Amino acid sequence: MKNGSILLSLGCLLFLSCGEKAKNEKLETDEKIKSVSTIENTKKSDVFYHYSIWWAFVNKVFEGDITAGELKTKGDIALGSYNLLDGELIMLDGKLYQAKENGEVLEPNDSLKVVYANAAFFDKDGSFNIYKVENYETLRDTINKQLPSKNFFYAFKIKGNFKYMKCGGLHKQTPPFEEGLDVLIPNRPIFERENFSGTMVGFYCPEFIGNINVAGFHLHFVSDDETFAGHVMEFEAENLTVEFDKINQYQFVLPETKGYENVGFDKEFQYKKK
C-alpha cells in the first residue's frame, strides 16, 4: 500500500442526504443528489485528505515525503506546512502559497516537500453571508449555528473585507529538532495588517478526531493581492461570504520517513477551544 494510505469511510453518503434537508433550507444549499455509495465511485470532493497526523507534527516530525505537486492532486484548497517548517502552506482554488517566516509570500516550486497538510476538492454544499464579524470567536459561533451538524468534517472558503488580520507563521527549523509545536506555536512569528480583502481557507474537525488533527476550526489566509498570508489567529471583518463543503470521508497518509518511524508521542498540543 503506497504511502501507507488508509481510507476511512465515515458513513454512507446516501444516508447523509436524507433527513437533513429541512435543516439546510435556510442556507441556500445547492446539494446535489449523491447516489454513489462505494469508495471507488465516490467523487473526489467528498474526501478529506490528510498528510501526516497532528500528533506526529506536534512531536517534531518536521520532514515529509510528498511534494507540493503531489498535494495539488489531493485537493484545490489546503492548509499545512512545508518541510523544516519553512513557511505556512495555503492553497486556494488550486494555487499554492508559502508564507515564509519573514512575512514574504511565495508560490512554491512543485518539488518543494510538504510536512503536513489538510486538503480537499472544494464542492460547495451551502453558503451564507455575515455583515459584521467582531472576532474569530464570533465567526465560530455564527458558523456553528449554521452548519447542519457538528459531527461531520467541513471545508471552508471565507471571503471578505478585513479591517484587521493577525496571522501566525513558523520559524524554520534545522535538525536535530529541539522543540515541538507545543513550544514553537506559542512563540511563532506574527504578522498584522489592516483594511484589505482576502480569503480564509480551512477545515472543521469534530472533537472525536482527538490528536489525529486539530479539533474544531483551523483556518489559513491569503490576501487578494497575494502579499499577506499565514495561519489565522484573530481578525475583524465585514461582508464575509462563508462557503462550506460537508465531508463524510477521511483519508490520512502517514509519512514513510525516519522521523515518523521513530516518533514518540510524548507531547500534546491543541489550539484553544474552537
- The footprint of Zn ion (CB under 5 A) covers 231
Indicate the residue whose CB is closest to Zn ion. Answer: 231
Please, is 204 exposed, middle or buried when counting C-beta atoms within 10 Å of its C-beta (0-12, 13-18, 19+)?
buried
Separation of alpha carbons 74 and 184, rounded Å: 28
Q: DSSP states of 32-50 as a string?
A: PP----STTTS-GGGEEEE
Considering the complex, state which of residue 231 and residue 246 has its C-beta at the smaller distance from Zn ion: 231
Residues in contact with 26: Cβ distance below 8 Å, sequence separation at least 6, in sequence order? none
Residue 114 half-sphere exposure toward CB, CA atoms < 13 A: 31
Provide, rounded to whole angstroms, the least separation between the CB of residue 231 and Zn ion. Answer: 3
Provide, rounded to whole angstroms, the least separation between the CB of residue 11 and Zn ion. Answer: 27
Nearest to 4 by CA among 59, 78, 56: 56
Alpha carbon distance, N-terminus to C-terminus of the chain:
35
Considering the complex, state which of residue 47 and residue 229 has its C-beta at the smaller distance from Zn ion: 229
Considering the complex, state which of residue 108 and residue 126 has its C-beta at the smaller distance from Zn ion: 108
Provide, rounded to whole angstroms, the least separation between the CB of residue 90 and Zn ion. Answer: 9
Provide, rounded to whole angstroms, the least separation between the CB of residue 253 and Zn ion. Answer: 18
Considering the complex, state which of residue 143 and residue 219 has its C-beta at the smaller distance from Zn ion: 219
